[in-house]
Amino acid sequence: MDFSSLVTAMPGLVSGMMLTLKLLVLAIVGGVALGTLLALARLSHNKLLSNLAGFYVNYFRSIPLLLVITWFYFVVPFIIGWLTGTNEPIGAFYSCLVAFMMFEAAYYCEIVRAGIQSISRGQVNAAYALGMTYSQTMRLVILPQAFRKMTPLLLQQSIILFQDTSLVYAVGLMDFLNSARSAGDIVGELHQFLLFAGLVYFIISFGASTLVKRLQKRLTV
Amino acid sequence: MISIKNVSKWYGDFQVLTDCTTEVSKGEVVVVCGPSGSGKSTLIKCVNGLEPFQSGDIIVDGISVGSPKTDLPKLRSRVGMVFQHFELFPHLSITDNLALAQIKVLGRKEDEAKKKGLALLDRVGLSAHAAKFPGQLSGGQQQRVAIARALAMDPIAMLFDEPTSALDPEMINEVLDVMVQLAHEGMTMMCVTHEMGFARKVANRVIFMDKGAIVEDANKDEFFGSPRSERAQAFLSKILQH
């Protein structure tokens, strides 16, 4: 097999990887933020709030990610256009980003919820007894401890997200996998490019996973 | 200062507090004792609103704890509380544990809060440990820090919820010493504790609880000398036997 055409195609592959990473990082940040809010809502004493959040989580965990991606690409712009009366397309990148954020938030929510529940009730009482409000207690006392405990799990979930970003190919976004596929198609060497893409995904995911395991060991000691 | 009026509390159908009424005046030290499950911890947690109660009322410095209109965080910031399991914040250094609520709740400047925290740390004999984290201290040391943390808020009264129950025997005295010193300085204190030696030494009054009710509420000498209720007599004879 001849891999020389890979070198020629490298700029395209690199820009594909940049898009993948940009999508990944923004989706993690948005997903964890939304997931944390959902977790707080699920743990709320307000029945309506906790039921709504529970429904959200169960709903998104019960449908395929690919469906969410296509749904946001085709349906949401239509609804927004219908609501605002304009006809501006959102674009594949932003519709995918929103889809990933909302989908992953359901998974991050469960991790954050478990993290918060692992902190003893006594810590909440101690913060309250010092005069802190609910929001201060969460921001200054509970979440910092919870996030410390759940960092390994959040990272593992993010590695899965990294692999799942390749699904954007369904709406034609040129991420790393799609760039490799299309470059391979053009030069007629699809196998080499797909093998290469597989190797890159493996190295990044496996490497990150190994690092997370090491971090986990350090945190538990 | 603290007046508890006919407080009752239920968990579902189970009544944990039954018509509790008592008073803690300014500068008074009141010890609450009784067998486990008698509701002492629940009662003291009602005083600063950590536990809600369904009937009766508690008035702290003229403010009703039970009223939905009360700004509970503000009221709590004026009442110090020390817990059985210390509850220092493990992700913060001792200095930050002492300063956090002063800064975020009372709005003190950072250097002012840290200075105050260090002064109190010195008072409980731990100034050498300011930069450490809670996990690096012994239980007795952590509890002394917890007392200093509560004092840093300049409380009008202090609540102690079994402050020595989770400690190794040789660490109990270092914590009790700090509490005795506080009592001598005139701090208003309500202490749930089994330390009868402490009660004898500094308490003005002793409250004995059983099955969620206040069975005996007497001044110290009366309580230890001639408890009226049989339940308190039995309790005292058991714990003072050795």
Amino acid letter, A90: I
CB–CB contact B100 A140 (8 Å): yes
- Going by pLDDT thresholds of 50, 70 and 90, the confidence category of residue A221 is low
Would you say B81 and B51 are in contact if contact means Cβ atoms under 8 Å apart?
no
Identify which of A7, A12, A19 has the alpha carbon closest to the alpha carbon of residue A162. A19
What's the whole-number mean pLDDT along residues A102-131? 95
List beta partners, residue B23. B3
Residue B122 has pLDDT above 60, yes or no: yes
Residues of B with CB under 8 A from a CB of A: 45, 48, 50, 72-74, 76-81, 83, 85, 87-91, 100-101, 104-106, 149-150, 153
A188 touches chain B (CB under 8 A): no
- pLDDT number for residue B220: 87
Calculate the alpha carbon distances from A189 to A2, A17, A142, B200 in Å.
Answer: 9, 19, 53, 90
Q: Is B42 helix (H, G, I), strand (E, B) or coil?
A: helix
CB-based contact B83 A126, cutoff 8 Å: yes
Neighbouring-strand partners of residue B64: B59
| A219 shares contact with chain B (CB less than 8 Å) | no
Q: What is d(CA A138, CA B102) in angstroms, rounded to the nearest whole number? A: 17
Question: Shortest CA distance to A20 belongs to which of A200, A183, A145?
Answer: A200
Average pLDDT over chain B, rounded to an integer: 92
Cβ separation A129–B105 shorter than 8 A: no
Please list every residue in chain A whose beta carbon sits closer than 8 Å to the beta carbon of residue B45.
125
Cβ neighbours of B153 in A, within 8 Å: 130-131
Interchain CB distance below 8 Å, A131 and B78? yes
Tell me the pLDDT band of B242, cut-offs 50, 70 and 90: low
Asked if the model's pLDDT at residue B63 lies above 80, the reply is yes
Distance (Å) from the C-alpha of residue A122 to the closest C-alpha of chain B?
A: 6
Query: What confidence score (pLDDT) does residue A75 get?
Result: 81
Burial profile B75-106: b = 16 or more Cβ within 10 angstroms, e = fewer: bbbbbbbbbbbbbbbbbbbbbbbbbbbbbbbb
Average pLDDT, integer, range A4-14: 84
pLDDT digits (tens, 9 = 90+) for B129-163: 999 999 999 999 999 999 999 999 999 999 999 99
Q: Can you give the pLDDT at residue A24?
A: 95
Residue with tokens 């005083």: B47
- E strand or H helix at B2, and its extent? strand B2-11
**Å between B234 CA and nearest CA of chain A:** 32
Token pair recorded at residue B71: 């700004």
CA angle at B142 for the pair B141 and B146, rounded to the nearest 5°: 120
For the segment A111-116, the average pLDDT, to the nearest whole number, is: 94
Mean pLDDT of A188-206: 91
Interface contact flag, A131 B50, Cβ < 8 Å: no
The answer to whether residue A77 scores a pLDDT higher than 60 is yes
Residue A130 with chain B: CB contacts under 8 Å:
76-77, 100-101, 105, 149-150, 153
More confident residue, B228 or B83: B83
Cβ pair B89, A141 in contact under 8 A: yes
CB pairs under 8 A between A and B: 61
Question: How far is it, in rounded angstroms, from Cα A193 to Cα A182?
Answer: 9
**Prediction ipTM score:** 0.93
Mean pLDDT for A189-196 is 88
Q: Exposure of B166 by Cβ count < 10 A (0-12 exposed, 13-18 middle, 19+ buried)?
A: middle
Rounded to two decimals, the pTM is: 0.86
Per-residue model confidence as pLDDT tens digits over B165-220: 998 888 899 999 999 999 999 999 999 998 888 998 889 999 999 999 999 998 98
10 Å CB burial of residue B109 (0-12, 13-18, 19+) is: exposed
Q: Please name the residue that has the structure tokens 């991790």.
A: A111
- Smallest Cβ–Cβ distance between B91 and the set A120, A136, A145 belongs to A145
Mean pLDDT of chain A: 90
- Both tokens of B211, joined, read 């099955």
Using pLDDT thresholds of 50, 70 and 90, give the confidence band for residue A79: confident
Which SS3 state, helix, strand or coil, does residue B30 take?
strand
Q: Using CA coordinates, name the residue in chain A closest to B149.
A: A130
**CA dist., res. B180 & res. B193, Å (int):** 13
Instruction: List, in order, residues 6 or more apart from B96 with CB less than 8 Å away.
Output: B89
- The verdict on a CB contact (< 8 Å) between B73 and A128 is yes
Question: Chain A residues with CB inside 8 Å of B81's CB?
Answer: 126, 129
pLDDT band of residue A9 (cuts 50, 70, 90) is confident
The answer to whether A131 contacts B45, with C-beta atoms less than 8 Å apart, is: no
The reply to whether A13 touches chain B by the CB within 8 Å rule is: no
What does the buried/exposed string (b/e) look like for A150-159 if buried means 16 or more CB atoms within 10 Å of the residue's CB?
bbbbbbbbbb
Helix residue spans in A63-189 (DSSP H):
65-84, 92-117, 121-129, 134-136, 143-164, 176-187
Looking at chain B, which residue has its C-alpha nearest residue A128?
B73
Q: Do A126 and B100 touch (CB under 8 A)?
A: no
Best of A118, A124, A130 to mutate (most B CBs within 10 Å, chain B): A130
- Domains, chain A, in order of start with CATH, read 4-219 (1.10.3720.10)
CA distance B46 to A206: 52
Supply A6's token pair: 């890979």
CB contact, 8 Å: A64 with chain B?
no
- Give chain B positions within 8 Å (CB) of A122: 83, 85, 87
* Alpha-helix runs per DSSP H in chain B: 40-47, 72-77, 94-104, 110-123, 139-151, 169-184, 196-202, 220-225, 230-239
Confidence grade of residue B117 (pLDDT, cut at 50, 70, 90)? very high
Query: Token pair for residue A210?
Result: 């190994």
DSSP string, B81-128: EE-TT----TTS-HHHHHHHHHHHTT---HHHHHHHHHHHHHHTT-GG
| A140-157 pLDDT tens trace | 999 999 999 899 999 999
Query: pLDDT tens-digit profile of A30-70?
Result: 999 999 999 999 999 899 999 999 999 999 999 999 999 99
How far CA B240 is from CA of A206, B151, B195, in Å, comes to: 64, 32, 10
Contact B187, B111 (CB under 8 A): no
Say what the pLDDT of residue A89 is: 67
Residue B228 to chain A, least CA–CA distance (Å): 35
Instruction: Check residues B78 and A219 and name the one with the higher pLDDT.
Output: B78
